[in-house]
């Protein structure tokens, strides 16, 4: 049966832990002289509806390190679901390449690609979730603390696609997840129900709060993201009026655990959701986290395509 990587929720805790262990192994192997060319002769097609720095470069370099190639397809080249149906794009590409990664606006588009493609499909981001980011986040947390189990992970800001995948990986791997968001910017209710069912099995908790100060008490991980995601530009002014109390600044970080690390999936709007003092300060893990996109995705690529 064909394997895909569409959502953290699709994988068992054991499978997710296996991917993290593989990512750690591949990262060490790369540092010690390079990865084995286990994807030699294989090509990953990368479909982009949205621009990207980290997703594009991390997948491209991951394929190179593993002996394969990556093929970038810009928004203009495909016009997914516009110039040609998604089903047709999926079936055509599957005859050329060994894997497809798609960074899309609508989650339905990546689901349709996976339905019609006979090769593995990886969700590089959708409006619902961002599972590759969550694996890099989990890898960064495990590197800092040894395990996710029992940790307090707090997301401050918009209950967006990044928050959904982070919540699911926390619930699966036994970390306590807290979201502090303004009224009207809550997590997808279905995603929360799923997380609660995972948390019940792992023994972790899900808390949804309004007060960021309450949310960071005893937090070992503080996570934030842009107040306005791509595709929401029309809401920028409205959001900039609502979110300032949710800025991750030195005061907020001082209210968390002394060992707390700060994460951000980037790009960061410095002076908005995070201050320079925090982004460049001793608690920040922003850049190791960004680099871990490549290592976590290597594990996903090996799992799906080797």
**pLDDT for residue 205:** 98
Instruction: List the CATH code of the domain at 8-130+293-305.
Output: 3.40.50.1370
Q: Per-residue pLDDT for 79 more than 80?
A: no
CA angle in degrees (0–180, nearest 5) for 99-105-110: 35
Instruction: Name the class of domain 133-289.
Output: alpha beta
**pLDDT for residue 233:** 87
Contacts of residue 24, defined as CB under 8 A and 6 or more positions apart, other chains included, come to: 139, 142, 143, 295
The answer to whether 302 touches 44, Cβ cutoff 8 Å, is no
Q: Per-residue pLDDT for 81 more than 80?
A: no
Tell me the average pLDDT across 49-66. 95
Give residue 12's pLDDT band: very low, low, confident or very high (50, 70, 90): very high
Q: Are the folds of 8-130+293-305 and 133-289 the same?
A: yes
The answer to whether 8 touches 165, Cβ cutoff 8 Å, is yes
**pLDDT for residue 29:** 98
Which stretches does DSSP call E strand in 119-230? 121-125, 152-156, 176-180, 206-209, 221-224
Tell me the average pLDDT across 41-62. 96
pLDDT, tens digit, 9 for 90 and up, residues 126-146: 999 999 999 999 999 999 999
Q: What's the chain's average pLDDT?
A: 97
Give residue 80's pLDDT band: very low, low, confident or very high (50, 70, 90): confident
**pLDDT for residue 209:** 98
Tell me the average pLDDT across 225-239. 90
Tell me the average pLDDT across 161-180. 98
Q: Which of 141, 127, 212, 128 is nearest to 170 (CA)?
A: 141
Q: Per-residue pLDDT for 230 more than 80?
A: no
Residue numbers annotated as active site: 103, 130, 133, 225, 265, 293
Torsions phi, psi for 34 (to 5 deg): 125, 155
Residues in the chain: 306
Q: Per-residue pLDDT for 117 more than 90?
A: yes
The answer to whether 268 touches 256, Cβ cutoff 8 Å, is no
Task: Give, in order, the Cα–Cα distances in Å from 39 to each of 6, 99, 111, 120, 136.
Answer: 21, 11, 25, 14, 21
| Helix/strand/coil for 208 | strand
Give residue 76's pLDDT band: very low, low, confident or very high (50, 70, 90): confident
Which stretches does DSSP call E strand in the chain? 43-48, 69-73, 99-103, 121-125, 152-156, 176-180, 206-209, 221-224, 261-264
Give residue 179's pLDDT band: very low, low, confident or very high (50, 70, 90): very high
**pLDDT for residue 21:** 98
Map out the domains of the chain as residue ranges.
8-130+293-305, 133-289
Report yes or no on whether pTM surpasses 0.95. yes
Using CA atoms, how far apart are residues 137 and 154, in angstroms rounded to an integer? Answer: 12
């Amino acid at each position: 049966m064909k394997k895909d990587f569409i959502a953290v929720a699709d994988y068992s805790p054991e499978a997710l832990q296996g991917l993290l262990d593989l990512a750690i192994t591949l990262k060490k192997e790369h540092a010690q002289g390079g990865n084995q060319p286990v994807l030699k002769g294989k090509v990953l097609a990368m479909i982009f509806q949205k621009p990207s720095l980290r997703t594009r470069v991390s997948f491209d370099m991951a394929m190179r390190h593993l002996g394969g190639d990556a093929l970038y397809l810009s928004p203009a080249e495909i016009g997914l679901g516009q110039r040609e149906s998604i089903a047709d794009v999926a079936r055509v590409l599957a005859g050329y390449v060994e894997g497809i990664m798609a960074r899309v606006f609508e989650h339905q588009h990546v689901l349709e690609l996976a339905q019609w493609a006979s090769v593995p499909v990886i969700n590089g981001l959708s409006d619902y979730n961002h599972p590759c980011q969550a694996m890099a986040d989990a890898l960064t947390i495990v590197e800092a603390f040894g395990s996710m189990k029992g940790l307090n992970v707090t997301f401050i800001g918009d209950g967006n696609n990044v928050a959904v995948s982070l919540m699911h990986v926390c619930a699966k791997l036994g970390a306590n997840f807290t979201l502090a968001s303004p009224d009207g910017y809550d997590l997808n209710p279905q995603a929360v129900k799923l997380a609660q069912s995972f948390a019940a099995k792992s023994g972790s908790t899900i808390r949804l709060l309004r007060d960021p100060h309450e949310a960071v008490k005893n937090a070992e991980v503080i996570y934030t993201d842009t107040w306005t995601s791509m595709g929401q530009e029309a809401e920028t002014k409205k959001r900039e009026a609502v979110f300032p109390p949710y800025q991750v600044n030195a005061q907020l970080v001082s209210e968390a655990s002394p060992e707390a690390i700060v994460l951000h999936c980037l790009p960061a709007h410095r002076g908005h959701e995070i201050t320079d003092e925090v982004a460049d300060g001793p608690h920040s893990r922003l850049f190791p986290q960004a680099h871990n996109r490549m290592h976590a995705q290597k594990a996903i690529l090996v799992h799906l395509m080797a």
